């Protein structure tokens, strides 16, 4: 039976109770907003969608969730990774070919666009598509028809196209490597998949779910992470996003089945000892050994904050800073919440409420 995720919106309020939506785990404000957007886009059923986000942020999961909950769910979901198929093959893969169109075309074959007729075509890594194919794809979106390689007559198709990329398409358009007209055709509904480091409050929930997933039987003892190991993973910057976290947890569960994992069992690059010891301002080394909190701007009054062209996400940074202060106070007080509240000059009940609300690993 097809899986269907109920709309998250009730009246004008987004329900904050779902933490697993169409297989996507998360209960941070960013993810709840995303689930709500997926529900709206799915219901609409036909507009082209462009999903942008770093590698491993769940772009394909988003595309599947849109398809599975749309009126098109009885049609095929056809994924095509434009970067994985050599340029010279991609055209015939997408458009199909007629017998004799080229050497080796012994018989006609329909392409993946036609295969997705009535369903959804997911074009992953669209930024890697060469320009001649971009022009052909634009025609499909405009005319709603495909022409097989070597064919003479176009065929009508009813396909929703969802494209995704980890590249900055604005930059590719500006540098002439991606057609502007195609960009606007694709980005009718833009969706941003947020990186994991911008929604750290999801990390504990993801870890819990992945531990469950990789624990073989329900009766097996669960593998656990001790608070310091958890804090360390919460402080890490996750350049490979959810995929990297999922792979790490799988590895830890296999190597330490049913055990309690401490910091020393974490692979070295995930051990953010200085964060656990110093909390707040300490960053955690990224894959190249660099410290991921960004160097201060010479005139900055807020060291460590990266002011991009679009400014900063004030609420996210304040919330992140609050998390770090709470975790540091807990660490300094050896896990004693009363003492941690004293160090923070907060009421114990206020601290406990915040820990619960933020789902902090203490």
Ligand X SMILES: Nc1ncnc2c1ncn2[C@@H]1O[C@H](COP(=O)(O)OP(=O)(O)OP(=O)(O)O)[C@@H](O)[C@H]1O
Footprint of ligand X (CB under 6 A)? 24-26, 53, 55-61, 124, 166, 193, 242-243, 246
CB-count burial class (<10 Å; 0-12, 13-18, 19+) for 86: exposed
Q: Tokens standing for 123? A: 């074009």
Rounded to a whole number of angstroms, the minimum distance from the CB of residue 124 to ligand X is 6
Q: Which residue is nearest to ligand X (CB)?
A: 58
Rounded to a whole number of angstroms, the minimum distance from the CB of residue 77 to ligand X is 13
Beta strands in 38-182 (DSSP E): 49-52, 77-81, 96-97, 109-110, 120-124, 145-146, 155-156, 160-165
DSSP 8-state class, residue 311: B
Beta-carbon-side half-sphere exposure of residue 119 (alpha carbons within 13 Å): 18
Q: How far apart are CA 18 and CA 9, in angstroms?
A: 11
C-beta of 27 vs 70, nearer to ligand X: 27
Rounded to a whole number of angstroms, the minimum distance from the CB of residue 215 to ligand X is 16
C-beta of 91 vs 124, nearer to ligand X: 124
Token pair 């000059």 in the structure block, residue: 345
Rounded to a whole number of angstroms, the minimum distance from the CB of residue 360 to ligand X is 19
Beta-carbon-side half-sphere exposure of residue 90 (alpha carbons within 13 Å): 22
C-beta of 60 vs 226, nearer to ligand X: 60
C-beta of 25 vs 140, nearer to ligand X: 25
How many Å is the Cα radius of gyration of the chain? 24
Rounded to a whole number of angstroms, the minimum distance from the CB of residue 56 to ligand X is 5
C-beta of 48 vs 55, nearer to ligand X: 55
């Amino acid at each position: 039976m097809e899986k269907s995720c109920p709309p998250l919106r009730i009246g004008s309020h987004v329900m904050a109770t779902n933490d697993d939506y169409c297989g996507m785990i998360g209960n941070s404000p960013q993810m709840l907003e995303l689930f709500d957007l997926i529900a709206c886009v799915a219901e609409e059923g036909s507009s082209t969608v462009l999903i942008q986000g770093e590698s491993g942020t769940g772009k394909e999961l988003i595309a599947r969730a849109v398809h599975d909950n749309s009126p098109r769910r009885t049609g095929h979901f056809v994924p095509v990774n434009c970067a994985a198929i050599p340029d010279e093959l991609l055209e015939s893969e997408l458009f199909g070919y007629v017998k004799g169109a080229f050497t080796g075309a012994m018989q006609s074959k329909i392409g993946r666009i036609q295969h997705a007729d009535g369903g959804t075509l997911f074009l992953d890594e669209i930024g890697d598509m060469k320009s001649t194919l971009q022009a052909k794809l634009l025609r499909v979106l405009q005319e709603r028809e495909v022409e097989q390689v070597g064919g003479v007559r176009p065929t009508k198709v009813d396909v929703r196209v969802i494209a995704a990329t980890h590249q900055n398409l604005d930059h590719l358009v500006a540098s002439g490597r991606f057609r502007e007209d195609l960009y606007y055709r694709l980005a009718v509904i833009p969706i941003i998949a947020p990186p994991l480091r911008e929604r750290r409050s999801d990390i504990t929930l993801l870890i819990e779910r992945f531990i469950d997933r990789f624990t073989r039987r329900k009766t097996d003892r669960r593998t656990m992470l001790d608070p310091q190991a958890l804090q360390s993973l919460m402080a890490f910057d996750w350049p490979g996003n959810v995929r990297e976290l999922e792979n790490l947890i799988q590895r830890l569960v296999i190597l330490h089945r049913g055990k309690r994992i401490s910091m020393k069992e974490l692979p070295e690059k995930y051990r953010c000892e200085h964060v656990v010891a110093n909390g707040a301002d300490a960053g955690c080394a990224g894959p190249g050994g660099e410290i991921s909190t960004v160097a201060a701007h010479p005139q900055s009054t807020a060291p460590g904050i990266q002011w991009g062209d679009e400014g900063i996400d004030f609420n996210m940074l304040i919330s992140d800073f609050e998390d770090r202060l709470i975790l540091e106070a807990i660490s300094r007080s050896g896990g004693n919440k009363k003492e941690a509240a004293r160090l923070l000059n907060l009421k114990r009940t206020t601290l406990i409420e915040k820990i619960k609300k933020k789902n902090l690993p203490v």
